[in-house]
Structure 1
Amino acid sequence: MTATELLVVPSARRAGPAPHRSARPRSRAGTVVGSILLIAFALALLVPFFWMVVSSFKDSNEIFSVPVRWLPDTWHWEHYVELWTDTGMATWLRNTIFLSTVVTFLQVLTGSFAAYGFAKVRFPGRDLLFLAYLATIAVPWQSYMIPQYIMLAQARLTNTLLALVVLQAFGAFGVFLMKQYFESIPEELSEAARIDGLNEYGIWARIMLPLSTPALASLALLTFVNTWNDYLGPLLYLRSKEIWTVQLGLKNFVANNLSADYAMLFTGLTISVIPIAVIFLLGQRYFVEGIATSGLKG
């Protein structure tokens, strides 16, 4: 190699990484811009929630004033006391918490149990049965709620919380979510447990469930939120005021007032949202992890 080549080659090697150095500022700038856009989008989503909470402390005339008053002139803390004492808010919350907790427990139990059968147990027609069960997600509830109501009426379960528990104790989405997660768990664990003498029930309870905490938390959170926010189900099956849920109670509270007291309405909505917000904040890490990993197969 000549002296000229020795001088050219090192200079070419030194010149090589230059594009990478120029690309780093671009990537950092893209990260900053993306973060700013995400923060702006998050703030835009939080504005209605902020307006609802602040409006619960306003006078009814201030809520829809033009221009918009983001903060009240006088903070009316007594709205929460009046709503709690003048309505059945405590009863509505108790019924909703009971219904959401029981339905969530049953859906997690039945969904994980059925998902284990579809994911780890081999039997004739398994895949076809799973597809048929999964196809029920595409069928809207409104198409079969009338015959379903007739069946529950003949069983004398209408006007009871048990009717809603029976209707929502099973869910195809929960089975699908848990099945995808179970399939990401190595089959060698189940085979080793069978060799040690553990039956299928023991494998499901002692191996699959402890390893599926993110998916279980995701299913529990989604089920709890859907049950808590359900309005049509309680509207059809709950007639007595003693078993009303929060959504049904607030709707009747507004309907019974000739002049809608929006300040009290927003107070009730704020109270009804607080449990959901707390539960989601506590379980968001498991929720994101469960959704992100349920579509993976190991």
Structure 2
Amino acid sequence: MRKRRSTTIVIGIVLGLGALVTAFPFAWMVFGSVKPRSESVAYPPKVLPQQPTLEYFRQLFEELDFGRYLLNTVTVVVIGMAGVLVMAMAGYGFAKFRFRGREPLFFLVLVTMMIPVQVTMVPTYLILNGLGLTNTLLGIALPGLVSGFSVFLFRQFMSTIPAELLEAARIDGAGEARIFLRVVLPLSRPILAVQAVLAFIAGWNSFLWPLIVADDERLYTLSVGVSLLNRQIATNPSLQMAAATLMVVPILAVFAVLQRFVVQGFTMSGLK
């Protein structure tokens, strides 16, 4: 028993040190975002700011148009969230309905997971250009609306919902739409949380596609804005750290809030 307790303590210490090492760059970024420029370029560097300031966050929004970039990014994320419902319906159909061609169709969904995104960018651009959706926020968001991986996750999770429960709802007179909204979706909250996090991350971090589709700088997302900032202002580390913090902190906040559901969703979907 004593040996086991000692082993547990050693493992805890090692994991704690690993967590500190992993979190240090994030802490450096956050502390660097509130340092005056004189402190950010000082040598030897100091982790904690001596005279913290929010000046660079103000500069991002008032002088560098990051408010518009933030609004564009939030719009792309909101449109992407609508795709979660579409993918949930597709996963439910593959999991609980029997129809001709179901297996070949699901195989095609799985095949899309093996195709690099870069391969489909040119045909996707040509399609959106033909529809007149290039240089629009809708054109930026549409390609990320549906994902084969997400449909697969929904299908795996919804396969675990008892068919008897759905049959009981049908016997009570519920239609398919009502069963999906009132029975299936409430039972699928863990996987919905997983997909919400994945959709949020995909929309929030979108960089290459907005850069290709948007000719107007007013349609750029935050990631594109941070990239432009790094090229335009290369001598102010504090300003760059403020922009990076604005990019990273919302993702961590969303994941922290939904972490329990995310772990549960991946576990119950059969992924290890």
Contact persistence 2:191–2:261 (CA under 8 A): yes
Based on CA coordinates, which of the two structures has the bigger radius of gyration? 1
Shift of 1:198: 2.2
| Contiguous gaps of at least 5 residues in structure 2 | none
Cα deviation 1:80-122 (Å, max 9, x = unaligned): 2222211111111111111112202x22111110000000001
Alpha-carbon deviation of 1:64? Answer: 5.6
Q: Distance in 2 between matches of 1:286 and 1:45?
A: 23
- The CA RMSD measured in Å over matched residues stands at 1.8
Inter-partner Cα distance in structure 1 for 2:78 and 2:190: 18
Partner letter of residue 118 of structure 1? F
Q: Please, which runs of 5 or more residues in structure 1 have no aligned partner? A: 1-23
Query: Structure 2 CA distance, aligned partners of 1:133 and 1:260?
Result: 47
> Could you tell me how far 1:59 is from its partner in structure 2?
4.0
SS at match of 1:69: coil
Displacement after TM superposition at 1:31 (Å): 2.6
Q: Determine which of 152, 162, 171 is the counterpart of 1:186.
A: 162
Equivalent residues in 2 for 1:193-204, closer than 5 Å: 193-204=169-180
Alignment of 1:106-255 (within 5 A): 106-255=82-231
Comparing 267-276 with 203-212, greater Cα deviation is found at 267-276
Equivalent position SS for 2:53: coil
How far residue 60 of structure 1 moved from its aligned partner, in angstroms, is 4.0
- Contact preservation (8 Å) 1:254, 1:260: no
1:102 match: 79
For the residues of structure 2 that align with 1:167 and 1:283, how far apart are their CA atoms? 25
Of 55, 59, 75, which residue of structure 1 is paired with 2:52? 75
TM-score by length of 1: 0.85
| Aligned-pair CA distance for 1:244 | 1.5
Tell whether 2:243 aligns with 1:268. Answer: yes
Identity, in percent, stands at 37
Once the two structures are TM-superposed, the CA of residue 254 in structure 1 deviates from its matched residue by 2.7
Amino acid at match of 1:43: L
Deviation at 1:75, TM superposition (A): 2.5
* Superposed displacement of residue 65, structure 1: 5.0
- For 2:40 and 2:207, locate their aligned partners in 1 and report how far apart those are by CA, in whole Å: 25
Indicate the SS of the match to 1:138. Answer: coil
Deviation at 1:285, TM superposition (A): 1.2
* 1:30 is aligned to 2:3: no
Written as runs of structure 1 = structure 2, the 5 A alignment for 1:42-53 is: 42-53=19-30
- Letter in structure 2 aligned against 1:68: P
Which consecutive segments of 4 or more residues in structure 1 shift more than 3 A? 59-68
Task: Report the count of equivalent residues.
Answer: 271
Aligned equivalents of 1:279, 1:91: Cα separation in 2: 21
Q: Which residue of 1 aligns with 2:258?
A: 283
In the alignment, the residues of structure 2 paired with residue 292 and residue 30 of structure 1 have an alpha-carbon distance, to the nearest angstrom, of 27
Q: Which moved more, 1:67-76 or 1:111-120?
A: 67-76
| Equivalent position of 1:10 in the other structure | none
Counterpart of 1:8 in structure 2 is none
- Counterpart amino acid of residue 219 in structure 1: Q
Report the Cα distance in structure 1 between the residues aligned to 2:98 and 2:176, rounded to whole angstroms. Answer: 12
CA distance in 1 between counterparts of 2:120 and 2:254 reads 32
CA distance in 1, matches of 2:131, 2:23: 44
TM-score by length of 2: 0.93
In the TM superposition, 1:8-23 aligns within 5 A as none
Cα displacement (A) at 1:272: 2.2
Q: Return 62-71 or 52-61, whichever deviates more.
A: 62-71
Q: Distance in 2 between matches of 1:74 and 1:200?
A: 61
SS at match of 1:201: helix
